[in-house]
Amino acid sequence: MTKQTFKILGSRPIRPDGVEKVTGKALFGADKSVSGMLHARILRSPHAHAEIVSIDTGKAEALAGVKAVITGDDFAPVENQETLYTMQNCMAQGRALYDGHAVAAVAATSRKIAGEALSLIEVRYKTLPHVTDVDEAMKPGAPLLHEGVKGRHLGDDVSGNTVSYCRFGHGDVEAGFAGADKIVERSFKTAAAHQGYIEPHACLADLGADGRGDLWCSTQGHYLVRETCAEIMQMEASQLRVTASEIGGGFGGKTTIFIEPVALMLSRKAGKPVKVVMNRDEVFRASGPTMSSSMDIKIGMRKDGKITAAQARLRYQGGAFPYEMVSMGAMSAFAAYDLEHVQTEGWDVMTNRPKMISYRAPGAPMAVYAVESVVDELCRTLELDPLDTRLKNAAREGVKSSYGPRFKAIGLVECLEAARAHPHYSAPLAANTGRGVSCGFWFNFGGQVSVSMAINTDGTVNLIEGNPDIGGSRASISMMAAEALGIPLGRVRTTIGDTASIGFSDTTDGSRVTFAVGIATINAANAAIREMCKRAAKIWEIDEDAVEWVDGAAQPAGHNAGDFPPMSLAEIAATSGKTGGPIAGHHEGAPDKAGVSFGVHLVDVEVDPETGFTAIKRYTAFQDAGKAIHPAYVEGQIQGGVVQGIGWALNEEYVYGTDGRLQNPGFLDYRIPVASDLPMIDAVIIEVPNPGHPFGVRGVGETSIVPPLAAVSNGVAQAIGQRLFELPMSPPKILKAIS
């Protein structure tokens, strides 16, 4: 795909949502209030696993100010098994499956009264054996989360908590290992990490006596919320209007629901609007973190650096309900390499922990951490340059990937070459420092999308789309609309429609929005352009086919060329009332061919030998964006992913006691990196256009969290002269290793 030239794409205009956010005008999930609104609180299980023998809500209901109390008994069964699990995650039925699992909820005239009412609810539990570790949960005889959900074709060597199995690869790994000069085989563990979005889950539900409802919530996908909640509440989707608030971070963690059915059920019961806002303790205990993992990696390499065979066995822990995610890790593990012999296996396992949900490139960071750690060890053992070695084995166009398909145009080699040529790579290292390298990969995808574009009579454009803006999509969509229409960016305003105002859109995930909504926007613009050319043709009294669109204006073409001066979008729009009525373009579709994305990261770390504390001294991330629509947002996505990956590598972890209770449900004890902890993250954008998008766009939101775990670990390994095989590498662990 040849590189195109653009007038607007690639520039860095001021963020359209910036003023509202910095002035406090933007309304987030908890900011919405309506007259007569009630406040709800949720009672949560203190046990990791317990039968709910009885719940007595009488005293709570009698408390002045309490308007409704609900338990799992208020929710009728739903047919769809996946929705049933979602519902039972929002409100336990029969058993509490993890510390923090909701067992009852109260709506009252104030949050304080609701809190007092919670203390009056009497729950009798019968505690049951629990398990929170993935390897323990897989063992036959482990405490069972659910009966009858064991993955098909799994044998007696694993417990019924093992809900899925996958295997990918090609070639003959044993033959490949036989050709290796050096084989390294290691086992790794990573902790569950939370997305750490600053805004807790929050919603406001209003379910009227007429059966119609409104729901305002912080979500990555309000159509998903509508469909799931409508099913749970047994109402028609059209009768529930869901509006996505501004969102204070999601990173995958808001691609499901946790509190919305609770608010809706309380509202239905009380006959009043009900607001639910999680506190941070609840976010940690009862929303969805990512998976923890236990992994075995084996890689063989020749002395010249060529990988001869690679094998991975991944065991992921995903909490209290069936799920399937390890396949994404299994497919990502060796994606950066051109391998003749490769095999990856994965198992998804349930435990007594909150149900996992996506976190940026779900499943990939931990698998790539383990693989890139072993590649690094091989490079150091064989005294090979880590970037040269990766280049020698790098996946490129036409290579059969480790998960099956052959790659189309990809930018891994370009990222590796840019990293090798960057001054960071050759900069001298100080004492107690190490330099880590890692590749990373993510798939990206397209999916369903709806866009509606109105051409206003003053020559401006209103565009409505159905994906919550979690990373700057209103800017990038406006820019693509302006580019396609040939008008100044300032004339386009993009807003996010509620579920009653525009057709369905998939959730904002999979790094899909700039890609998929972008394609829909270009198609909607083209539809509007066709109509505007038609109007101009009528005015000029020439054939429609004899009109073309150039630089934001219709102009006669062919044998009519030059007969009339160009007619701008604004001029055509101004007379639209007389030429056939309003002009608009819309597009509904499900674009595919999203194009995968690669990144390469370099990091310098300094380890304090007295405390075990690791400081990030320098970080440079190279990533193929296809075409960076708004480079500042792309850099922001890269920097954000890097920071989250650093946190995962160094500090973040769900810590469970032997009682199965979460020990650190707060930011004091669950340490995420903040700006003052880190140097500026240098983001280097590589542009290898995606042939599947008219402007060459690839998703950029997820790849950046994949390499940091291994990059930091490889840096620490060099700094302290030994490798740790478990994340996070918190100071006590490093101190123990070096002392």
Partner 1 sequence: MARVVIFGSLRAYTDGVGEVEIAASTTRALLKELARRYPGLREVIEAGVSLAIDGEVFKEAWFTPIGEDSEVVVMPLMVGG
Q: Which residues bind partner 1 (CB under 8 A)?
A: 152-153, 165-169, 195, 251-253, 255, 324-325, 327-328, 331, 343, 345, 358-362, 403-408, 442-447, 509-512, 590, 592-594, 596, 692, 702
Contact 489, 452 (CB under 8 A): no
DSSP, collapsed to helix, strand or coil, labels residue 406 as strand
Contact 50, 97 (CB under 8 A): no
DSSP, collapsed to helix, strand or coil, labels residue 585 as strand
In the bound state with partner 1, the residue whose beta carbon lies nearer, of 358 and 494, is 358
Q: How far is the CB of 87 from partner 1 (least distance, A)?
A: 19
In the bound state with partner 1, the residue whose beta carbon lies nearer, of 152 and 578, is 152
DSSP, collapsed to helix, strand or coil, labels residue 613 as coil
Q: How far is the CB of 253 from partner 1 (least distance, A)?
A: 8
Q: How far is the CB of 203 from partner 1 (least distance, A)?
A: 20
Contact 385, 327 (CB under 8 A): no
Q: How far is the CB of 225 from partner 1 (least distance, A)?
A: 17
Instruction: Tell me how far apart the alpha carbons of residues 342 and 170 are, in angstroms, rounded to a whole number.
Output: 6
E strands in 213-306: 213-217, 240-244, 274-277, 292-301
Residue type, 355: K
Q: How far is the CB of 428 from partner 1 (least distance, A)?
A: 37
DSSP, collapsed to helix, strand or coil, labels residue 663 as coil
In the bound state with partner 1, the residue whose beta carbon lies nearer, of 322 and 612, is 322
Question: What is the Cβ-side half-sphere exposure of residue 394, based on CA atoms within 13 angstroms?
Answer: 24
Please tell me what DSSP assigns to residue 480. H
In the bound state with partner 1, the residue whose beta carbon lies nearer, of 397 and 544, is 397
Contact 394, 413 (CB under 8 A): yes
In the bound state with partner 1, the residue whose beta carbon lies nearer, of 79 and 458, is 79
Please spell the DSSP secondary structure of 129-158, one letter per residue: -----HHHHHSTTPPPSSTT-PPTT--TTS
In the bound state with partner 1, the residue whose beta carbon lies nearer, of 323 and 549, is 323
Please tell me what DSSP assigns to residue 407. P
Contact 382, 344 (CB under 8 A): no
In the bound state with partner 1, the residue whose beta carbon lies nearer, of 403 and 656, is 403
| b/e map 587-624, b = 16+ CB within 10 Å | bbeebeebbbbbbbbbbbbbbeeeebebebbbbbbbbb
Sheet of 553-556: strands edge to edge?
547-550, 553-556, 567-568
Q: How far is the CB of 696 from partner 1 (least distance, A)?
A: 15
Placement of tokens 């030994």 in the chain: 722
In the bound state with partner 1, the residue whose beta carbon lies nearer, of 56 and 592, is 592
Query: Residue 728, preceding bond cis, omega within 30 degrees?
Result: yes
Q: How far is the CB of 738 from partner 1 (least distance, A)?
A: 34
In the bound state with partner 1, the residue whose beta carbon lies nearer, of 159 and 358, is 358
In the bound state with partner 1, the residue whose beta carbon lies nearer, of 112 and 167, is 167
Q: How far is the CB of 340 from partner 1 (least distance, A)?
A: 16
In the bound state with partner 1, the residue whose beta carbon lies nearer, of 343 and 433, is 343
Please tell me what DSSP assigns to residue 354. P
In the bound state with partner 1, the residue whose beta carbon lies nearer, of 100 and 252, is 252
The 3 state secondary structure assigned to 270-292 is HCCCEEEECCHHHHHHHCCCCCE
In the bound state with partner 1, the residue whose beta carbon lies nearer, of 644 and 730, is 644
Contact 274, 214 (CB under 8 A): no
In the bound state with partner 1, the residue whose beta carbon lies nearer, of 248 and 446, is 446
Question: What is the Cβ-side half-sphere exposure of residue 309, based on CA atoms within 13 angstroms?
Answer: 21
In the bound state with partner 1, the residue whose beta carbon lies nearer, of 221 and 556, is 221
DSSP, collapsed to helix, strand or coil, labels residue 235 as coil
Q: How far is the CB of 525 from partner 1 (least distance, A)?
A: 23
In the bound state with partner 1, the residue whose beta carbon lies nearer, of 92 and 596, is 596
Q: How far is the CB of 447 from partner 1 (least distance, A)?
A: 6
Contact 380, 715 (CB under 8 A): no
Instruction: Tell me how far apart the alpha carbons of residues 242 and 507 are, in angstroms, rounded to a whole number.
Output: 13
Residue type, 193: A
Q: How far is the CB of 216 from partner 1 (least distance, A)?
A: 23
Nearest to 29 by CA among 497, 641, 463, 468: 468
Q: How far is the CB of 595 from partner 1 (least distance, A)?
A: 8
Sheet of 614-624: strands edge to edge?
433-442, 597-607, 614-624, 681-686
Q: How far is the CB of 295 from partner 1 (least distance, A)?
A: 17
Residue type, 91: M
Q: How far is the CB of 571 from partner 1 (least distance, A)?
A: 40
Inter-CA distances, 138 with 163, 259, 384, 586, Å: 10, 30, 38, 50
In the bound state with partner 1, the residue whose beta carbon lies nearer, of 402 and 433, is 402
- Torsion, CA 397, CA 402, CA 406, CA 409, rounded to 10: -30
Question: What is the Cβ-side half-sphere exposure of residue 386, based on CA atoms within 13 angstroms?
Answer: 26
In the bound state with partner 1, the residue whose beta carbon lies nearer, of 252 and 585, is 252
Q: How far is the CB of 147 from partner 1 (least distance, A)?
A: 19
| b/e map 433-463, b = 16+ CB within 10 Å | bbbbbbbbbbbbbbbbbbbbbbbbeebbbeb
Placement of tokens 């669950």 in the chain: 670
Distance of CA 189 to the CA centre of its chain: 22
φ/ψ (deg, to 5) at 72: -60, -25
Helices of type H across 433-543: 473-485, 513-540
